[in-house]
Amino acid sequence: MKLLDLNAQYQSIKNEIDWAIQDVIKRSAFIMGDDIKKLESAIAQYCQSKYAVGLNSGSDALLLALRALDIKQGDEVIVPTFTFISTAEVVVLEQAKPIFVDIDPKTFNIDPSKIEEKITSKTKAIIPVHLYGQPADMDPIMDIAARHNLYVIEDAAQAIGAEYKGKKVCSIGHIGCLSFFPAKNLGAFGDAGMIVTEDEKIAEKIAMLRNHGSRKKYYHEFIGDSSRLDNLQAAILRVKLKHLDKWNDLRIQKAEKYNELFKQTEVVTPSTLPDTKTVYQQYTIRVKKRDELQKNLKEKGIPTAIHYPLPLHLQPAFKYLKYKEGDLIESERASREVLSLPMYPELSADDQNIITKSISSFY
């Protein structure tokens, strides 16, 4: 059994993918080729937004979003503590200070009611994360941001296709950031990412930042970087994007089946906000004796993962910020209780039955 099966997905679209790769090779269209522009406009349209800029990772999408908004030394940026490190790491890379906020224990996303108490005169932005493919509660977040004049950068690395009150994630904040890391719902064959925005100036600035601050070859208006989306990855992603809705629907079906199979057990299944569409990049349950259960499942050949075993405020990398255990208790509790189960569009009903029965029998 596998946690996710990238080969099963490749086999289902092998001809289209192989053709697209060969086509790029034949055209030698490796750097800033046509596929990038075409993917950018397809993703902008998919995310119900105006502009998209292809980048070489989701982490760079977050980093360049902060840089384009001129977040710098002395600024503070509000982030959830229960997320992948990139969300806060980029803040430090820009010499600003991450301010960690606890999560809503039901959704695992940043708790909007705990944001305002963390806002100071130095706060410049909030980065809500749509964790596991579930949209964060964006209405109160946008409301707080408007009242305090803050930018909102959506970390949608795990959530392409998810919807909040009829709006696609990435179209709600000032900038949306996507990751096409291979394991994501829309995954490349290597690292890749993108920003999405309604703001032409931001899109233009990020397009230059990714390419050495340059608009015209060998003319550099400011210091940028080499953070372009690889054209081969763009060609692969263009093929895969056509299948994304179907794959997300299959993930939702698998999640519903898990929910059904876990009824009448003590497993806490994911709870979603009303009027949202969750795309289950992860199907993550909450359980007691999590580590023992994980070990037991491993012995039975069932792989699982822990997203994430240590909240960011307690990571050695952020020790200098002087948080301590007990500061953000919901995230600390989640990090002891969460367990992500196998989840991918091709996951079989037989495997889901084996997984859920094994968990029930453990208890």
* String marking each residue 165-204 x if it binds ligand PLP according to CB under 6 A: --------------x-x---------x-x-----------
Footprint of ligand PLP on 137-156 (CB under 6 A)? 155
Q: What is the smallest separation between the CB atom of 148 and ligand PLP, expressed in angstroms?
A: 24
Report yes or no: 328 and 79 within 8 Å, Cβ to Cβ: no
Radius of gyration of the chain, Cα coordinates, nearest whole angstrom: 20
Whole-number minimum distance, CB 157 to ligand PLP, in Å?
Answer: 3
Q: Identify which of residues 192 and 261 has a Cβ nearer to ligand PLP in the complex.
A: 192
Q: Which stretch binds ligand PLP (CB under 6 A): 9-17, 52-60, 138-146, 330-338?
A: 52-60
Q: CA–CA distance from 146 to each of 51, 173, 174, 315 (Å)?
A: 22, 11, 11, 31
Among 9, 81, 87, 340, binds ligand PLP (CB under 6 A): 87
Give the x-and-dash track for 287-326 against ligand PLP (CB under 6 A).
----------------------------------------
Nearer to ligand PLP, 281 or 294 (CB): 281
Diameter over CA atoms, the chain: 65
Q: Would you tell me the crossing angle of helices 200-209 and 58-68 to the nearest 10 degrees?
A: 120
Q: Least distance to ligand PLP from the beta carbon of 350, Å? A: 29
Please give the size of the binding site for ligand PLP, defined by CB under 6 A.
15
58 contributes a contact to ligand PLP by CB under 6 A:
yes
CA dist 124 → 96, 99, 133, 179, 209 (Å): 10, 11, 25, 23, 20
Token pair in block for residue 158: 């795990």
SS3 at position 86: helix
Length of the chain: 363
Distance CA 197, CA 321 (A): 31
Residue 104 vs 155, nearer CB to ligand PLP: 155
C-alpha 233/C-alpha 241 separation (Å) is: 12
Cα–Cα distances in Å, from 346 out to 12, 112, 247, 253? Answer: 10, 35, 9, 11
Which of these segments, 2-10, 69-77, 84-92, 254-262, binds ligand PLP (CB under 6 A)?
A: 84-92
One residue of 9, 83, 109, 211 binding ligand PLP per CB under 6 A: 83
Nearest position to ligand PLP, beta carbon:
58
CB of 354 to ligand PLP, least distance (A): 27
- Give the E-state strand segments of 82-197 in sequence order: 97-101, 123-126, 151-155, 163-164, 167-168, 175-179, 193-197
Q: Does 129 bind ligand PLP (CB under 6 A)?
A: yes
Q: Return residues touching ligand PLP (CB under 6 A).
A: 57-59, 83-84, 86-87, 129, 155, 157-158, 179, 181, 191, 193
